[in-house]
Copies of this chain bind each other. A is one copy, B any other.
Amino acid sequence: MNTHNCKDCPFKSSAEKVLHDDEFMVLEENSALVTFKKGDLIFKEGALSTNVAFLRTGIVKIHKQGPTKEKILRIVKAPSYFGIPTTFGNKINQYSATSIEDTTVCFIDSTLFRNFILENGKFAYEVIVELCQNELQDYERYANQSQKQIPGIVAERLICMSDTIFKSPRFIFPLTQGELADLVGTSRESVSRVLSDFSNSKIIEFKGKEITILKRDSLEQISQKG
């Protein structure tokens, strides 16, 4: 394990913020800080899960093999845990995580994490709140996506990326079109066509991988109509 200072880490999770000094000391001894490059696999579906992963910086995709191809389940931006369900719901990873931008990840021994839950109620509570919020977010998306058509879902995703991940109408699009297809549940070609449409109607603009949302209103309309 590399030596690092958890207590003064500027990227603490809301759960970690309630840890006591002695707990930080144990944490430092039982966690490892690792750097990943864009495209690197962080953990793999099917492998044994012995660590909880905390995304300190960067962006990660959570994905899983579906019946015909890969399905991207969620995009996680720092700071956030991203391996809790797969660690405590099943011994074997039920999904993979891959870095889609350079990231730093803190791996926390799952026995230690479990002890924090058992011994620090506030820590447990914060973990529960995070799990609950994620689940609500997922539900919202399921409900939307199963009833919208492709342009609507793509529009929703673009807005979501702009708002919650990059917090700017202009950003470097972190996925290939194929990945975006795996995320929204469609084909690569359909994504390409939808993006071309948006681009032709000046709703968005592409400069290489940089995307700018020009008409947010139109995007929102398309997203809502379905």
Give A contacts to B, CB under 8 Å.
Answer: 64-69, 71, 73, 84-90, 94-95, 114, 117-122, 124-125, 127-129, 131-136, 138-140, 142-148, 152, 185, 224-226
Contact = CB atoms under 8 A, between A and B. Distances in A.
Contacts of A152: 67
Q: Tell me the interface secondary structure of chain A in the complex.
A: helix
Q: Kindly report how many copies of this chain are found in the complex they form together.
A: 2
Nearest to A119: B121
Contact of A85 (B66, B71, B132, B145): B132
Contacts of A147: 66-69, 71, 185
A73 B128 contact: no
A150 to B, nearest CB: 12
29 contacts: A67-B144, A67-B148, A67-B152, A69-B147, A71-B142, A71-B143, A71-B147, A73-B139, A84-B128, A85-B135, A86-B132, A88-B132, A89-B133, A89-B135, A90-B132, A94-B139, A114-B125, A117-B121, A117-B125, A118-B122, A118-B125, A119-B121, A124-B124, A127-B128, A131-B131, A134-B135, A135-B138, A145-B146, A146-B185
